[in-house]
Structure 1
Amino acid sequence: MNALSESANSDTISKSEISPENINKIPIVKAPDTVNWKPKSKVWPILQIAAFAAALAESIALPTVQMVKDFPYKIMLILFIAYLIIGYAVSFFNEKLSLKVNHKSQFYFAIGIGFTIWDILSTKTNILPLPFFPGPAQIVQVLVEDSGTLLISTLYSMRLLALGFIAGTILGLVSGILMGWYKQWYYWFFPVLKIIGVVPAVAWIPVAMSLFPSTLISEVFLIVLCVWFPVAFMACGGIENIPRSYFEAAKTLGANEKFLIFKIAIPGAMPSIFTGIYTATGLSFTTLVVSEMLGAEAGLGWYINWAKGWSNYAKVYAAIVIMAIVFSIVLAIIFRIRDRVLIWQRGLLK
């Protein structure tokens, strides 16, 4: 017993050790960075620049076998190398930027090596022949020469996506909250949700083309349908999974139904709602492309279908690149909104 007490006394911190004079001597332990978690390296930030420099050197030195204007591709490589060099130089004076540059350097190194190998196998040696395997130089050439048509197609697709996604999200939130809160709504509408929601939205194309007078309304309807199901389903499930004790405690303090819905039910279901929105984002892009291929007069889906008809796969891949960029931007916006709404979750989840 005496040994235990002596051990306990030896582990405790005396008042003298936490006096104001010794406060500054206590080491401060920083929380681990969950975003830029790659170990610090002096080599990878340099290697990423070297990889794109190798891609540029290969593009200049080796003769071109395929018919292509590779000047835009070379300019793109030069601009990206300049971007990496500037970021690397500034990172010496900014710790946060230094961690970000270090974290992404391995990924950029792999992209630079990938561009080099891809260009050699296609443009330089024709091992990957046209028209099915265009090289990066052909795709960049299309992005420059056909920029006007691609810009108009992107704007058309963004208009269609915005109309359908916003309307589908609002409809999904309202119906999901009603089904999650009111038993009558759940009784009548949840079976409909299960029946209609599991059917892919593109399967409703013949019905939509017959019901609505214009192609635009039909396409918006399909996107609304594919967004509505995951948002409504997750909103309903999120409210149902909130512990009943939260509502009972609020009622004992005099909370009315409006307070229970808007201050407890909806905030508590927000993590599930955003999960539904993430799922709906991917489904909406798929539905957007398929619907535009069938009857639209413009849009990225229409552009892909038109280019495929002429076997111009460089234009197909150029449209896919733009779609990937737009999709990444939309997801980044949703992540920012989620981080602001769910700021209370910071530190609880990885």
Structure 2
Amino acid sequence: MSLSIRWHERRAGPPQASSLPLGGKARSAKGAPVSTPDPALGFDSLPFRGRARVGAAAPERTPAPASTSPRIQKALPTWRIGFAAAATWLSLGLLTIYWPNQAVGFSDWAYTDEFGIAAIAIGALLLAVALLGPRAGRVARALRPAGPWLVALPVLFAIWEIATAKLALLPTPFFAPPQSLVETYIDDWRRLGESLLHSARLLAHGFVLGALAGFLTGVTIGWSRIAGYWVHPVLRFLGPVPASALLPLAFFFFPSSYAAAVFLIALATGFPVAVLTWSGVAGVNRNYYDVARTMGASERFLVLRVAIPAALPQVFVGLFMGLGAAFSVLVTAEMMGVKAGLGFYLSWAQGWASYSNMYAALIVMAVLCSGLITLLFKVRDRVLSWQKGTVKW
């Protein structure tokens, strides 16, 4: 009987934990102690390697490390070139103020101290941005790409200032110091502003008319073989002629100098726009037309929705070329016949040997032309979004 009891104990295995008192010990068939889970700890379903004790604290979970957000931006490194730029601008200001100007037949260059104070203010601003570092925010991020230019500009201004106002190495009537430009912009801003508005209006009228005429001409000769047969030879014969060469004829046939200038600007703009639009329309893949025709497209649909959109990259190239040609004709027309505008201002300043006014007008011209080209690039990137960034300005 004892043998049967032992055999049943071996088959049944060790006693169950539920039948033991709290914190009790179970023994295996061989007499080895077996760890039992303690219901008070809440680990009934977990395996145990050691002995459970009543009242033992539950093991604490290690908190997961906080994930780094991708929005957290790295701190900007020290802007060393910013300190160099601040030092050069401060040096320019001190040089301008404390180095006396060379006598050139009159008392002194006006606005010398104001120019020096402005340079010192720029240097102080750059120094503050460099010291603040990442705390400067958007200002620091906007100025960092222009760091080398912020160092080069005050150096160029210093060389210009020394060669003109301080040592008078260059002839005074033809080369004025930087503060003379400040004097021109402060004292003659009204006349410069009126000239700028007149030139902008004249350029807008001529450029819009020329671009529209050139675009329609290019689409016509690019789509119609008959129109191309008659118009293309005329375009090849008269197009390469400089528009400024027709200035005497334009002033003779048109009732006013303003109308003649508009015609010349439109002529200079229309030729490159017409040629490149014609090239774009004629170079459209014929498979596009075949696919559209199989879907029942009309001739009008083919022109407006297939040919013109496909030719738009070439059209914008023509607009860029036409804008440059229009600006050159604008200045020539204003200097020769139109009694207003930046070209007329240049001619007037040269006649009075006021070269500082002439340099100021040239800077305004450069800003105007560059701004218009930048605006045209913005329009191009908006219209041709799939080609955005391929050509940069």
Q: What are the equivalent positions in structure 2 for 1:312-331 lying under 5 Å apart? A: 312-331=354-373
In structure 2, the residue matched to 1:57 is: 94
Q: Say whether the 8 Å CA contact 2:82–2:147 is kept in structure 1.
A: yes
Aligned with 2:109 (options 68, 80, 96): 68
1:57 is matched by which residue type in structure 2? L
Q: Distance in 1 between matches of 2:220 and 2:129?
A: 49
Q: What are the equivalent positions in structure 2 for 1:201-280 lying under 5 Å apart? A: 201-280=243-322
The one-character-per-residue Cα deviations of 1:263-285 (angstroms, maximum 9, x if unpaired) are 22111111111111111111111
Report the alpha carbon displacement of residue 52 of structure 1 after superposing the two structures with TM.
Answer: 2.3
Q: If each structure's helix is expressed as a fraction of its own residues, which one has the higher value? A: 1
**Structure 1 residue runs without a partner (length 5+):** 1-23, 28-39
Asked if 1:284 corresponds to 2:326, the answer is yes
Report the alpha carbon displacement of residue 86 of structure 1 after superposing the two structures with TM.
Answer: 7.3
In structure 2, the residue matched to 1:144 is: 186
Q: Distance in 2 between matches of 1:131 and 1:228?
A: 40
- How many residues are paired up? 315
- Give the 3-state SS of the residue equivalent to 2:134 in structure 1: coil
The one-character-per-residue Cα deviations of 1:138-164 (angstroms, maximum 9, x if unpaired) are 122111111111111111111111111
Q: Distance in 1 between matches of 2:157 and 2:260?
A: 40
Q: Distance in 2 between matches of 1:260 and 1:41?
A: 58
**Structure 2 residue runs without a partner (length 5+):** 1-66, 71-76
Q: Say whether the 8 Å CA contact 2:221–2:227 is kept in structure 1.
A: yes
In structure 1, the residue matched to 2:216 is: 174
Identity of aligned residues (%): 35
The one-character-per-residue Cα deviations of 1:15-47 (angstroms, maximum 9, x if unpaired) are xxxxxxxxx99x9xxxxxxxxxxxx88322333
Asked if 1:197 corresponds to 2:239, the answer is yes
In structure 2, the residue matched to 1:43 is: 80
In structure 2, the residue matched to 1:33 is: none
Q: Say whether the 8 Å CA contact 1:172–1:228 is kept in structure 2.
A: yes
Q: What are the equivalent positions in structure 2 for 1:111-122 lying under 5 Å apart? A: 111-122=153-164
Q: Say whether the 8 Å CA contact 2:88–2:123 is kept in structure 1.
A: no
Asked if 1:158 corresponds to 2:200, the answer is yes
TM-score (norm 2): 0.74
Q: Distance in 2 between matches of 1:86 and 1:235?
A: 52
Q: Distance in 2 between matches of 1:86 and 1:340?
A: 37
Higher RCO structure (Cα 8 Å, ≥6 apart): 1
Q: CA RMSD in A?
A: 2.6
1:263 is matched by which residue type in structure 2? R
Aligned with 2:343 (options 301, 317, 320): 301
Distance 1:299 1:258, change over 3 A: same
Q: Distance in 1 between matches of 2:249 and 2:267?
A: 12
From the CA coordinates, give the structure whose radius of gyration is larger.
2
Q: Say whether the 8 Å CA contact 1:131–1:313 is kept in structure 2.
A: yes
Distance 1:45 1:238, change over 3 A: farther
More deviation in 257-266 or 117-126?
Answer: 257-266
Distance 1:202 1:137, change over 3 A: same
Q: Say whether the 8 Å CA contact 1:91–1:101 is kept in structure 2.
A: no
In structure 2, the residue matched to 1:10 is: none
Q: Distance in 1 between matches of 2:206 and 2:132?
A: 42
- Give the 3-state SS of the residue equivalent to 1:213 in structure 2: coil
Distance 1:198 1:106, change over 3 A: same
Q: Say whether the 8 Å CA contact 1:59–1:74 is kept in structure 2.
A: yes
1:123 is matched by which residue type in structure 2? A
Q: Distance in 2 between matches of 1:83 and 1:275?
A: 40
